[in-house]
Amino acid sequence: MRGNIITILAKLSLLVTMIMSTIMVKSVALDYGDALTKSILFFECQRSGYLPPSQRMTWRKNSALKDGSDIGVRMDGGYYDAGDNVKFHFPMAFTTTMLAWSVIEFGDLMGPDLQHALDAIRWGTDYFLKATKDPNVVIAQIGDPNKDHICWERPEDMDTSRKTYVVTTSKPGSEVSAEIAAALAASSIALRKNDGRYSEALLLRAKRVFDFANNHRGSYNDSIGDGACPFYCDFNGYMDELVWGAAWLYMASNDQFYWNFVKSNIQSLGSFSEFGWDSKHAGINVLISERVMNDPSNQNSFISNANNLMCSLLPNSPTKAVTYSKGGLLFKPGSSNMQHVTSYSFLLIVYARYMQVNQKIVNCGNFVVKPADLVNLAKTQVDYVLGKNPLGMSYMVGYGQKFPQKLHHRASTMPSIDVYPEHIECHDGDKYFELQSPDINQLTGAIVGGPAEDDSFQDSRYNVPQSEPATYINAPFVGVLAYFKQRNSKY
């Protein structure tokens, strides 16, 4: 009898928890257009080099102007990836690729924000043209991360080692090189209407960089050592980047060579469900599916893999491979969970659109999935990020009434040079890190790593997985927000 009572009480407790969780998910009106504008604005906060007259985030100033001087090249520009002052080219290239894909799919829905999105892409591609100027060298990273991470300094002040890491024919880095090729190829499509000559230059460079990556195979983990690891180690090998690069070159050029490369190597990639700066598997299948979805002669695995991906994400699917918090947020193992939320939301919407055009459905066992089901799932994720969650908190800085205030981000925590023009030494910035007050500068549009799996969030600079933003979190969200800005709550 006592056991039955305990069981009943446990069930009642669970029911109360579920009801309270539902009640706590705040009902707020969301402005996807405002979120889109701010999500693109964040990239201006992350700019390195000489800032243009059009710079809207005026508390940021010129920085890292002598990058590349240790090897006699000019490498100012590019993006800081997150809250530090290193330019990691592997995730920077993925960021650029996803910004370009966002514009390719959803640029016509962006309105006045389109030009800012194109500017964000070009800030990346201008830099990667510098990084790939030498046919036998790809510059893979700038800044010694081990020394950089010791100092809490503004980008404008940093005096730590700006070592230039390169990969060559004898010390290859296929993953970073192929991801740069993908970024250049995708951007050539995104920028074609805006600047045809520049677009063609990007495509030609993408082909050359892909050849470099493919003909001189090897991992940058080995070639640049502790410059890459443990910060952005390539855990999945470089074949997914080679196939990803070839896929984008095929989309940009229609060259049969790249299509044959993709078909010949897709089976070697293994998992169909991984996607992010390190793993391109799911993105490849979704990207290529546009071309082959209605091809009766298609004997490849792109569609089945993409279908399996969708089934792995849907909460009611018998093959679900992710978890969801009580508040409804998607989770995968690892830190900075919002990178998964934004990337998978992007793939859900893109694939839904391809399905809609081709009048397709997906069967997850006996569970039938329509395009609207994928869009609805993506919308739950977008809405959670923007404030429809148990804490009623937006995880985009500057959006809504309640958002993270204490980011793990050097520039936002310290006074602008306009306010404090004197040089701030390496450890003199520690006092700003340790402040319990909100950031001095608002990092508008930044999406942080996000809450824990119990929907709790610690607004603290010490909690890096939750409070650090990153460009590769925002990049796919640009396209997602453009879609919902236009379509709002209905597919």
Catalytic residues: 84, 408, 459, 468
- Angle, CA of 187, 189 and 191, to the nearest 5°: 65
Torsion on CA atoms 368, 372, 373, 377, rounded to nearest 10? 170
Q: Could you give the C-alpha distances from 383 to 83, 311, 347, 428, 441, in angstroms and in order?
A: 25, 21, 16, 39, 25
Distance CA 338, CA 264 (A): 33
Are 273 and 299 a contacting pair, CB within 8 Å? no
Q: The tokens of 246 are what?
A: 């070839």
Size of the chain, expressed as the number of residues it contains: 491
Q: How do the residues of the chain divide into helix, strand and coil, expressed in percent and rounded to 5?
A: 50, 5, 45
Distances (CA, A) of 249 to 120, 133, 292, 317: 21, 19, 16, 34
**Reduced 3-state DSSP string for 417-486:** CCCCCCCCCCHHHHHHHCCCCCCCCCCCCCEECCCCCCCCCCCCCCCHHHHCECHHHHHHHHHHHHHHHH
Give the whole-angstrom CA distance, residue 417 versus residue 273: 44
Q: What is the C-alpha to C-alpha distance for residues 340 and 323, in angstroms, rounded to an integer?
A: 12
Q: Which residue is listed with tokens 């091809």?
A: 295
Q: Are 394 and 347 in contact (CB under 8 A)?
A: no
Task: State the greatest distance between any 2 C-alpha atoms of the chain, in Å, as a whole number.
Answer: 81
C-alpha distances (whole Å) from 113 to each of 33, 345, 445, 472 are 9, 20, 13, 19
Dist CA 369 CA 314 (whole Å) = 9
Judged by DSSP in three states, 330 sits in: strand
Q: What angle do CA 74, 77, 83 make, to 5 degrees?
A: 130
